[in-house]
Amino acid sequence: MAASLTLTEAQAELVSSLAQEDIPAKLRCAICSKLAVNAFRLPCCEQAICDNCHSTLPASCPVCEHSPLSGGDCKPHKALRTTIKVFLRTEEKKRESNRPKDATPVTPAEPGPVSAGPPVVLETRGPAPPADGTAPAEEQQPTAEPVSEAAPTVADGQVSKETAGQEETEGMGKTADQSVRNRMALAVSMSGLLTAVIGTASPRWSRRRRGSGCRN
């Protein structure tokens, strides 16, 4: 029986960090598609599986569904184990070459002991009040003076009286004008009436004069 590969801590970390596309298809496990470490060969389909899948192999083949199947029927895949050893060594060398050579770990400086002195208390003082004892200008609040409605003055009453007198005078003037107009209209109507009476009486008077002349 071929000797199993015992992985170092660095190799185990390398195997767990490999992605599926980083592993060649011939080196993958036919069940879990990971690197077939300590590979075994399935007797039914000649596929390679890893040590972990070999320990949990079911009664039927997960690849070709052949049954019955047991772990004792599988044989170590010697050629594949040798190839995987070489693959792991090559990957380790690649990662070592990709690491920066000048990078050295920086150790943080240890802080020295700090002597604890007495605590410094900072006093905060407000603005000092003035010597005369009055409050600062910012603290003095303006007092609002009450606004009282202005009482009616004598001048307002006098103006109202004058306005009333003017209105009364204007009313009396209008009444006088209307009275004069009425008198003039009455005089015109009387004059017209008198003219009409005179015009009516004139023909009669002329006729009477003509009759008296004929009689003489």
**How far, in Å, CA of 21 to CA of 42, rounded?**
23
202's tokens: 């004139």
**pLDDT for 165-189, tens place per residue?**
666 666 666 666 777 788 787 877 7
Please give the full DSSP string across 26-83, using - where no structure is assigned: GGB-TTT-SB-TT-EE-TTT--EE-HHHHHT--SS-TTT--SS--GGG-EE-HHHHHH
Alpha-carbon span 206 to 102, nearest angstrom: 164
Task: Identify the residue with better confidence: 130 or 42.
Answer: 42
Strand order in the sheet with 40-41: 48-49, 40-41, 75-76
pLDDT tens-digit profile of 49-83? 999 999 999 999 999 999 999 889 899 999 999 99
Residues sharing a CB contact under 8 Å with residue 28, sequence separation 6 or more, in sequence order: 20, 34, 35, 36
